[in-house]
A and B are shown apart, each in its own frame.
Chain A
Amino acid sequence: MTNISIEAPEVVRGQPYPGAPDNWKRFFTFSTDHKVIGIQYIVTSFVFYLIGGLFAMIMRGELITPEADLVDRTVYNALFTMHGSVMLFFWTFPVLVGLGNYLVPLMIGARDMAFPRLNAVSFWMIPIAGILMMSSFLVPGGPSQSGWWAYPPVSLQNPTGNLINGQVLWILSVAISGVSSIMGAVNFVTTICRMRAPGMTWFKTPAFVWAVLAAQLIQLYGLPALTGGAVMLLLDLTIGTSFFNPEGGGNPILYQHFFWFYSHPAVYVMVLPAFGTFSEVLPVHARKPLFGYRVIAASSLIITVISSAVWVHHMFASATPSWMRMFFMVTTMLVAIPSGVKVFGWVATVWGGKIRFTTPMLFALGGISNWLFAGITGIFLGSAPIDLHVHNTYFVVGHFHYVLYGAIVMAIYAAIYHWFPKMTGRMYYEGLGKLHFVLTYIGTALIFLPMHPLGLMGMPRRVASYDPEFAYWNVVASIGGFLLGLSTLPFILNMVSSWIRGEKVGNNPWRAYGLEWLTSSPPTVENFEETPIVISGPYGYGRHQPLVEHAPNPGLTDFPESFTKQPSS
């Protein structure tokens, strides 16, 4: 068979609707194309990532000496509050939703999400909510200073007396973000359940899609609790109800239940798509099927179920009775089993493979090694007696950031590099990508590893100043923090320059095995000219069996010959 690359006609390339601009301007429109929305999510959230990262670097600058001498305590408190809030609500969640938005319809052979307009509304709520949160820097009392978890009664204290204050803006912003996520979850679940291509049974569905489904199910059951808690907190703050205010007979611990009922599973909302990314990237760059695919896929849903009953491990040191400490200790540790199954599956996938150290592969491998470490320290934290010592210390901060940055952000980078040729039709610069990886991996270790000994020594989190005994590890961590800040520069340079003038590649430069690689790069408006009919499972490396009944985009032939079943003559 002769490989002839036929470019898709320009007129249909990512065009959101007839008459819409077919250039960068379409990313500033109310597009209903899931691919445009996906990139809108990714780019918008990356801007917030830079803002949140800037806050973190100022904090590390403050913590490079024991004294509170760089910024005032109120500024520091606002910075860690906004850092956590921005990084979670406006970077990690949205960027993963963006990746899901871009990839899920392509991976399941759909032409768009189930509810395209709802999808666009979900996205546009994010910049609105983000700007609202940022605007709190301009109100008289400044931004919220009660931490990203906004525990009352601290979050109910209002030193300015103004109705419009940083805490109110914070709650409104989080509530809007929550509503956006709920709408997104409805869209994802419907799309995945109802719009898979003919022949794509559950066990022919890519692991990434399983992971997104599992994550979005958590959004559906968990987010209403957080949003409800936020509304009650807003009422306490503004009109003087006493749901959580002890002065009026309220119970601040109740808020913690509302908050953690969602906010612990929320970690899995973020980490599951990261797991899905590892499961997609490893087989391609190791040229092997995903080992134990069915178990890995099913373990995502098992995590969804178990994670609904672990939230109290954040409250072991709270006003939590013994029976509750013991029950949630066991359930928390049980999450290690499906998580461990995945790690073993990934190790077995690369074992005996034909590994290529491309940038996405490096980020995936780095992310898995970090996740392994984070998972083990997570078991430590699941043990109630150990938690009673390290709770609210830097040990937790180190563990948490190993999950969020070491594993999830690494996975996000892996995903962006891996699917960059699909999104743009061009290849990134490998040298810059590898430089980015090296800086990121070293920076991650330098900043987050020292937090573990700091926590064991007893340094509380959220402090603007500390005893001199903690100075050494803090200096190391700050150097790592600045290195992480530096690491984003080659990434930005790479993405911008590659998108503009990177080498044009075919539709499937990785010779990857998945429906998204069966269409042009970037994909046409409706993804597939003909609905693909799936006839085999994903990750068919080494099997030489066709994935679909016939080419869904006739004329596009620069993928492996065995990709489509040839019509019998």
Chain B
Amino acid sequence: MTVYAVLVTFASLWMAKQAYSWFPPEAAAEAKLLDDLFSLFTGLGTFIYLGVIGPFIYSLIFHRAEKYDLSDGPDIEGNTWLEIIWTVTPLILVVTLSFVSYRTYEKMSIRGPMELVHLHMPQMVEPAYAEPFDSTPQQEIQEAVETSPIEEIDVVAKQWAWIFHYPNQDVTSTELHLPVDRRVRFKLHSEDVLHGFYVPAFRLSQYVVPHEDIDFELTPVKIGTYRLRDSMYSGTYFAANQTDVVVQSASDYQQWLADAAAQTPTPAFNPANYEYSQVFEPGSGNTKDKVAVRGWATIPPAPPPVVNYAPKHEPESPPV
């Protein structure tokens, strides 16, 4: 039993370590916080799983009835102390996990739909990034807030496109560009149905609700190109409602803004419009040839967004 407990402990620690490798790159300070939390949950979850399944399998192997043995097993109804222990232990565990989760959520300071707060809880109305920090991701969030003003970006989601508006430069784009190591505040807005603003590399998602502006904050910390996906089912071309997120150095970001501001707004390539035109325009049949089973009518996609900047042709990660 002791040997098994030791093995389970080591297996749990190993799994907790492995958990970091199951995610996309940690491209935001919040992602690091989430990965630490997930690792803790994985370690404890493994410990519980193996701790329960081990005795279970042991009894299945070693407590089988002999072939012609029709007698009953021992008449054991229960054990009060054992039942108390296995009620109190999970209680302590879930209260602890709730507390740790709460702390992590607080450290993320992602804001959210503040205008919907119905109870007067001032400490939760404002983000917690002004509080003292005790870990690297929090330091990154803190420094991002202190070293430069928060970058504000308006996000519009619609069926089926993402449009990003940079109010200070009055630039619009269908590709999201962000400065590294700087706090970013999005104002999320939907023109039609529910959408989900979701960047897996940032580990964060937030519904975008029609006729509501929802503030949402994060701090990109790793230069690279990532994927923004619509996480909330939004109708026919939901799967194609994706775009790239480009995290750049401060100088590259400023350069990109300047270049984009100099461009005349033009209709951007839009996968949903493209597919719709292929399927529903009389005389065309390209998509029909590719798909084995044709379906039913759909509402037409919104017109292609007119923006300063869009990938010239098909996006780098082609729509699928």
Report yes or no: A337 in contact with B38, Cβ–Cβ below 8 A: no
Q: Which residues of B contact A464 (CB under 8 A)?
A: 239
Contacts A70-B293, A75-B295, A153-B192 known; A460 to B230 CB distance under 8 Å?
yes
Report yes or no: B293 in contact with A75, Cβ–Cβ below 8 A: yes
Report yes or no: B198 in contact with A347, Cβ–Cβ below 8 A: no
A39 lies within 8 A of chain B by Cβ: no
| Interfacial residues, chain B to chain A (CB-CB below 8 A) | 22-24, 33-34, 37-38, 41, 45, 48-49, 52-53, 55-56, 59-60, 63-65, 69-79, 82-83, 86-87, 90-91, 94-95, 97-98, 101-102, 104-105, 108, 110, 112-114, 116-119, 121, 124, 192-194, 196, 198, 200-201, 203-207, 209-212, 214, 227, 229-240, 242, 275, 279, 290-299, 317, 320
Report yes or no: B94 in contact with A321, Cβ–Cβ below 8 A: no
Q: Which residues of B contact A393 (CB under 8 A)?
A: 231
Q: Which residues of B contact A347 (CB under 8 A)?
A: 52, 55-56, 59
Residues in A356-387 with C-beta less than 8 Å from chain B: 356-357, 365, 368-369, 372-373, 376-377, 379-380, 383-386
How many angstroms between the C-alpha atoms of A384 and B37 in the bound complex? 11
Q: Which residues of B contact A147 (CB under 8 A)?
A: 233
Q: Which residues of A contact B242 (CB under 8 A)?
A: 467
Report yes or no: B113 in contact with A319, Cβ–Cβ below 8 A: yes
Distance from A155 Cβ to chain B, minimum over Cβ atoms (Å): 9
Q: Which residues of B contact A458 (CB under 8 A)?
A: 24, 198, 200-201, 227, 229
- Write out, one digit per residue, whether chain A residues 144-156 have a CB within 8 A of any chain B CB (1) or not (0): 0111000101100
A5 lies within 8 A of chain B by Cβ: no
Report yes or no: B235 in contact with A145, Cβ–Cβ below 8 A: yes
A548 lies within 8 A of chain B by Cβ: no
Partner-contacting stretch, out of A94-102, A284-292, A495-503, A524-532: A284-292
A435 lies within 8 A of chain B by Cβ: no
Q: Which residues of A contact B203 (CB under 8 A)?
A: 388-389
Interface of B is mostly: mixed
Partner-contacting stretch, out of A61-69, A172-180, A439-447: A61-69
- Closest partner residue, chain A, to B226 (CB atom): A458
Residue from A157, A246, A321 within 8 A of B235 (CB atoms): A157
Report yes or no: B298 in contact with A333, Cβ–Cβ below 8 A: no
- Closest partner residue, chain B, to A376 (CB atom): B45
Q: Which residues of A contact B317 (CB under 8 A)?
A: 467
Q: Which residues of A contact B320 (CB under 8 A)?
A: 66-68, 465-468
Interface pairs A-B: 7 shortest CB-CB: A458-B200, A74-B295, A542-B75, A142-B296, A72-B295, A463-B239, A354-B65
How many angstroms between the C-alpha atoms of A468 and B319 in the bound complex? 11
Contacts A68-B291, A348-B82, A385-B105 known; A318 to B207 CB distance under 8 Å?
yes
- Closest partner residue, chain B, to A289 (CB atom): B77
How many angstroms between the C-alpha atoms of A468 and B242 in the bound complex? 14
Report yes or no: B291 in contact with A70, Cβ–Cβ below 8 A: yes
Report yes or no: B205 in contact with A386, Cβ–Cβ below 8 A: no
Report yes or no: B34 in contact with A292, Cβ–Cβ below 8 A: no
Distance from B62 Cβ to chain A, minimum over Cβ atoms (Å): 9
Q: What are 15 contact pairs spanning A and B, CB under 8 A?
A: A69-B291, A73-B236, A74-B295, A75-B293, A141-B297, A145-B235, A252-B194, A292-B83, A333-B97, A356-B64, A365-B56, A376-B45, A391-B205, A467-B317, A541-B75
- Closest partner residue, chain B, to A343 (CB atom): B52
Report yes or no: A386 in contact with B37, Cβ–Cβ below 8 A: yes
Residue from B59, B77, B232 within 8 A of A392 (CB atoms): B232
A135 lies within 8 A of chain B by Cβ: no
Residues in A461-496 with C-beta less than 8 Å from chain B: 461-468
A253 lies within 8 A of chain B by Cβ: yes
Distance from B299 Cβ to chain A, minimum over Cβ atoms (Å): 5
Report yes or no: A288 in contact with B72, Cβ–Cβ below 8 A: yes
Contacts A334-B94, A458-B24 known; A463 to B117 CB distance under 8 Å?
no
Residue from A77, A323, A385, A462 within 8 A of B101 (CB atoms): A385
Q: Which residues of B contact A568 (CB under 8 A)?
A: none
A231 lies within 8 A of chain B by Cβ: no
Besides A77-B235, A160-B297, A465-B240, 20 other CB < 8 A contacts?
A70-B291, A72-B291, A75-B296, A153-B210, A154-B193, A291-B79, A293-B78, A317-B205, A317-B231, A319-B112, A333-B97, A344-B86, A352-B74, A354-B63, A379-B94, A385-B34, A458-B201, A458-B229, A467-B317, A543-B75
Report yes or no: A289 in contact with B76, Cβ–Cβ below 8 A: yes
Q: Which residues of A contact B229 (CB under 8 A)?
A: 458, 460
Q: Which residues of A contact B292 (CB under 8 A)?
A: 69-71
Q: Which residues of B contact A461 (CB under 8 A)?
A: 233
Distance from A313 Cβ to chain B, minimum over Cβ atoms (Å): 12
- Closest partner residue, chain A, to B86 (CB atom): A344
Report yes or no: B231 in contact with A392, Cβ–Cβ below 8 A: yes
How many angstroms between the C-alpha atoms of A183 and B102 in the bound complex? 41
Report yes or no: A295 in contact with B124, Cβ–Cβ below 8 A: no
- Closest partner residue, chain A, to B297 (CB atom): A159
Distance from B314 Cβ to chain A, minimum over Cβ atoms (Å): 14
- Closest partner residue, chain A, to B31 (CB atom): A389
How many angstroms between the C-alpha atoms of A467 and B98 in the bound complex? 34
Residues in A249-295 with C-beta less than 8 Å from chain B: 252-253, 286-289, 291-295
Residue from A295, A323, A379, A462 within 8 A of B238 (CB atoms): A462
Report yes or no: A354 in contact with B52, Cβ–Cβ below 8 A: no
Report yes or no: B205 in contact with A388, Cβ–Cβ below 8 A: yes
Contacts A287-B73, A319-B207, A467-B317 known; A159 to B65 CB distance under 8 Å?
no
Residues in A316-335 with C-beta less than 8 Å from chain B: 317-323, 325-326, 329-330, 333-334
Contacts A287-B65, A321-B114, A341-B83 known; A372 to B235 CB distance under 8 Å?
no
Distance from A373 Cβ to chain B, minimum over Cβ atoms (Å): 7
A78 lies within 8 A of chain B by Cβ: yes
A350 lies within 8 A of chain B by Cβ: yes
Report yes or no: A321 in contact with B116, Cβ–Cβ below 8 A: yes
Q: Which residues of B contact A160 (CB under 8 A)?
A: 297
Report which residue of A78, A323, A351 has the largest number of chain B beta carbons within 10 angstroms of its beta carbon: A351
Report yes or no: A252 in contact with B60, Cβ–Cβ below 8 A: no
Residues in A219-249 with C-beta less than 8 Å from chain B: 246
Distance from B204 Cβ to chain A, minimum over Cβ atoms (Å): 5
Distance from A339 Cβ to chain B, minimum over Cβ atoms (Å): 9
A431 lies within 8 A of chain B by Cβ: no
How many angstroms between the C-alpha atoms of A140 and B296 in the bound complex? 8
Report yes or no: B69 in contact with A288, Cβ–Cβ below 8 A: no
Q: Which residues of B contact A293 (CB under 8 A)?
A: 77-78
Q: Which residues of A contact B70 (CB under 8 A)?
A: 511
Distance from A280 Cβ to chain B, minimum over Cβ atoms (Å): 16
How many angstroms between the C-alpha atoms of A376 and B23 in the bound complex? 19
Distance from B84 Cβ to chain A, minimum over Cβ atoms (Å): 10
Contacts A153-B210, A355-B65 known; A383 to B235 CB distance under 8 Å?
no
A456 lies within 8 A of chain B by Cβ: yes
A195 lies within 8 A of chain B by Cβ: no
Distance from A156 Cβ to chain B, minimum over Cβ atoms (Å): 9
A340 lies within 8 A of chain B by Cβ: yes
Q: Which residues of A contact B210 (CB under 8 A)?
A: 153, 246, 252
Q: Which residues of A contact B114 (CB under 8 A)?
A: 321
A186 lies within 8 A of chain B by Cβ: no
Q: Which residues of A contact B87 (CB under 8 A)?
A: 295, 337, 340-341
Report yes or no: A542 in contact with B236, Cβ–Cβ below 8 A: no
How many angstroms between the C-alpha atoms of A368 and B52 in the bound complex? 11
